[in-house]
A and B are shown apart, each in its own frame.
Chain A
Amino acid sequence: MRALPVGDRALLVEVSTDEEAQALHADLLRRRAEGSLSVREIVPAARTVLLDGLEDPSRLAAQLSGTRLPSVPPPVAEVVEIAVRYDGPDLADVAELWGVSPEEVARVHASADFRVAFCGFAPGFGYLTGLPARYGVPRRATPRTTVPAGSVGLAGPYTGVYPRSSPGGWQLIGTTDAVLWDHARVPAALLSPGTPVRFVPVDS
């Protein structure tokens, strides 16, 4: 672990893998819940957790230096099931990259246990890990100017669902009617960091 100062009120804690980042994030949430950590924002990402709104970042850095990174705890939230039609415009391209049939892409994707590693890009957009490393795919060479809401895409090691229509460069393999973000709902975000997720195939 490395602690990098970010201005006078924040600390970026860097680890080596996304599993470590998820474990650190869970541990920091636990510390905040039990009252031993006072911070406004805890923002997990690919290899880091940002702590923003700290009274004394250097004191926390010193405290963290005395602790060992815990292992990823079992998910506390219930599994969110997302019904997907595997009918995306990039399904054939992904099948080719994986060296399998389009039906097999759907089967592999729908049998993986996902977890929200972190959120970003747009409210409600989760970066989901869980696909074995060999299924990583590059972003599209030319991003689409419009990706419809509900599109299920792949990029690098991640799966994500677009909460609303926006430009995007992910490889689109399917669509869902799930509402990723609804500010009139509590909670507004269907997915938050740590949420376990499964995709359930449905007929197009």
Chain B
Amino acid sequence: MTDRALVVVRAGALTTVQDLGRPGHAHLGVPRSGALDAPAAALMNRLVGNPPEAAVLETTLNGCDLRPRSAVTVAVGGAPCPVSVDGRPAPWGAPVHVPAGALLSVGTAVSGVRAYVAVSGGVTVEPVLGSRSTDLLSGLGPPPLTAGTVLPLGKPYGLPARVDVVPQPSPPAELVLRVTPGPRDDWFTAAAWRTFTTHTYRVSSASNRIGLRTEGPALERAIGGELPSEGMVLGAVQVPPDGSPVVFLADHPTTGGYPVIAVVHPKDLPTTAQATPGTPVRFVPTCTPRGRGERRNL
């Protein structure tokens, strides 16, 4: 019998198991979670013959080292980084055969933040509410990997994709995030909206899977006091009392009490996963906040 499992030799700064997440439970306080750079995770799954819902590993900045107990096909993508098998260089962004007992090394990202490691058969830790994703906010799913962790693998689904070239977007030199006005844009002054949409912010090093924090000019409130807690969406741009916008990512809380000035277009969120601290951020409005017709009294 083959022992289909991966042994974690070096866990790296933060390596978690991720799949498509667990949407549909926000009313119970359960974050959606899931791979931050979902297109990269899906592409790596395709390269090893997995369906899109198979669980992969998401690394942060300095990769991880893994030793499969049986021969597997892996693909590493997302943030560009060196890949090796038993010390010999192997291709990034392509299917790689790793013999049983060999050491797969995913190195430090040359640019970007998060690399995705898909393994044929997928990581098959016990699902929680239909997902194997690690949720850092609420602690659902498997804990972040540590050296010595043994991860079970599923049976291979099919043949790895046969490809010559796999185009992948480069990590962003500048984050351009399209935004629509949020439900609480009227809690901010008109000057704050202008500042928000015309100044350049920078990605803060305090960013994580919960939110992309930014540094830049503070946004001034028109309405003081506290907002009663309300439901939050992925991509909501919440503004805490310090005035610096925070873009909610996959592990965001399901309700929150700070006003949401804008909402980022979902297609622009995967690039936030690869934005290193210091990357310039511009919020580009796709419509104006005041006098828009959709806000209605019922």
Question: Which A residues are closer than 8 A to B by beta carbons?
Answer: 1-10, 12-13, 40-50, 52-53, 57-58, 61-62, 64-65, 67, 118-125, 127, 164, 183, 188-189, 192-193
Contacts and interface: CB of A to CB of B under 8 A. Distances in A.
B294 interface: yes
Given A1-B298, A121-B29, A124-B28, A6 B263 contact: yes
Given A5-B295, A7-B180, A43 B253 contact: no
A121 B257 CA distance: 11
Interface stretch (B35-43, B94-102, B224-232): B224-232
Interface in B113-154: 128-129, 138-140
A61 B233 contact: no
Q: Which 3 residue pairs of A and B lie closest in terms of their CB atoms, listed nearest first?
A: A50-B231, A43-B231, A120-B255
Contacts of A13: 298
A183 B128 contact: yes
Contacts of B229: 45-46, 118, 120, 127
Contacts of B263: 6-7, 10
B221 interface: no
A72 B234 CA distance: 29
Nearest to B185: A4
B129 A42 contact: no
A78 B200 CA distance: 53
Interface stretch (B19-27, B202-210, B270-278): B19-27
Contacts of A123: 25, 28-30, 138, 140
A62 B233 CA distance: 21
11 contacts: A2-B298, A5-B295, A42-B27, A44-B231, A45-B228, A48-B228, A48-B231, A57-B294, A62-B296, A119-B28, A120-B229
Given A4-B295, A6-B182, A65-B296, A121 B230 contact: no
A46 to B, nearest CB: 3
Contacts of B91: none
Nearest to B255: A120
B183 interface: yes
Contact of A10 (B24, B139, B233, B264): B233
Given A41-B23, A65-B298, A124-B28, 5 more contacts: A1-B298, A8-B265, A50-B26, A120-B254, A188-B129
Contacts of A61: 294, 296, 298
B169 to A, nearest CB: 22
A43 B180 contact: no
A175 B138 CA distance: 21
Nearest to A67: B298
A42 B231 CA distance: 9
A52 B298 CA distance: 19
B235 A3 contact: no
A3 B128 CA distance: 33
Contacts of B297: 1-2
Nearest to A192: B28
Contacts of B230: 12, 45-48, 50
Nearest to A189: B28
Contact of A7 (B25, B266, B296): B266
B236 interface: yes
A44 B228 CA distance: 12
A142 B27 CA distance: 28
B56 interface: no
